[in-house]
Structure 1
Amino acid sequence: MSLFNHLPPWRPSYSSGCFITLGQQLSGEGEDFISKNPMNFQQIIKQDEVQPSRYFSVKVESFSNLIDSIQKALWQDSQYRRLLQELGKGRSVQDYSLDSSSQLHLFEDWVVVPNDPTIQLRIIQKRHDSPLAGHFGQDKTIKLVMWDFHRSGITQFIKYYVSSSQQCSRNKNINHKKFGFLKPLPIPNGPWICFQCI
């Protein structure tokens, strides 16, 4: 234990960005700690334990393809064509700007999405269906989309898309109250006279 003389500095929980991993070599140390105790450095996952069926690949669409599609579709959208012409002439439009590096039409700091259902669908698929996105529900998907994009009425489109997702409807948690105890019918005081099926 005398070889491990590193004490991590105390930080409050909100400012400790990451944890020190077990295999991380601390600064100022050489490779002496490996040779003195070989158990400090060992392979955790052996080669025969790796099975290809446990892993899967994820196809990620590049963001530049989506941006190119948005730029082309904005000129087709009659609502934003006039704003783009005003911004192209150097005039200022309230809350709208034109990004000089990417030539994107911005509403405050969000990329404006044209009224093109295929582009809206691609954005929602990237933020909802992708395994990297997490396949969240309506509220979190709306937040994920609203971090980068702006479109009036896109929240209704997201709600419709998520509610029609088969995987979401199968895996959705039950939100109602727990069922109560069964309440049997009261026991009659005496024998009954007749039985009617009306």
Structure 2
Amino acid sequence: MASIRLIVGLGNPGPDYAATRHNAGFWLVDLLARQHSATLRAEGKFFSLYARAGEMHLLEPQTFMNASGKAVAAVARFYKIQPDEILVVHDELDLPPGAAKLKQGGGHGGHNGLRDIIAALGVQDFWRLRLGIGHPGNKAEVVNFVLKPPRKEEQDAIDRAIDCALDVMPAVLAGNMPEAMKDLHTRAK
């Protein structure tokens, strides 16, 4: 199994979105960069905030969610990173706050960031780390829901799930996905 070389956090740039549910991917990548003493810096050719820590590339697209694929494809092409070496971290409506799941491939499930990455890469078989944010219960409320900050108890649960995901990151980076999945899926529910 290939090791993960590129970790992409999905979100929307700017202070107006920083605390919103849609930025859960950014939250994890920010913490991962801090753990590895890496500084995310604006990188124009990647349309992103970018950092490198050893063999690991960290990316936060600054193109807004719906155009995330442009940044992911730019880094993948430049560093010759294959889709199965990419982990995309994103908010997940279909999981409750506090849940986190790893999976490879699949559709976009209505997530516009994933939709654009699939289109830009031309394949679906990259890895995803799905961070549960819950669902508003009404499909018409989804856009408003993801662009609002979570309630305190939801934020606490999401933060715990991110901590669990960071704990399994050494196994993820080594490409030991079965071990990472078992550990994560047991701990982050």
User: What band does the TM-score fall into relative to the shorter chain?
Assistant: under 0.3
TM-score by length of 1: 0.24
Which one has a larger percent strand, Structure 1 or Structure 2? 2
Greater relative CO (CA pairs within 8 A, separation 6+): 2
More helix by share: 2
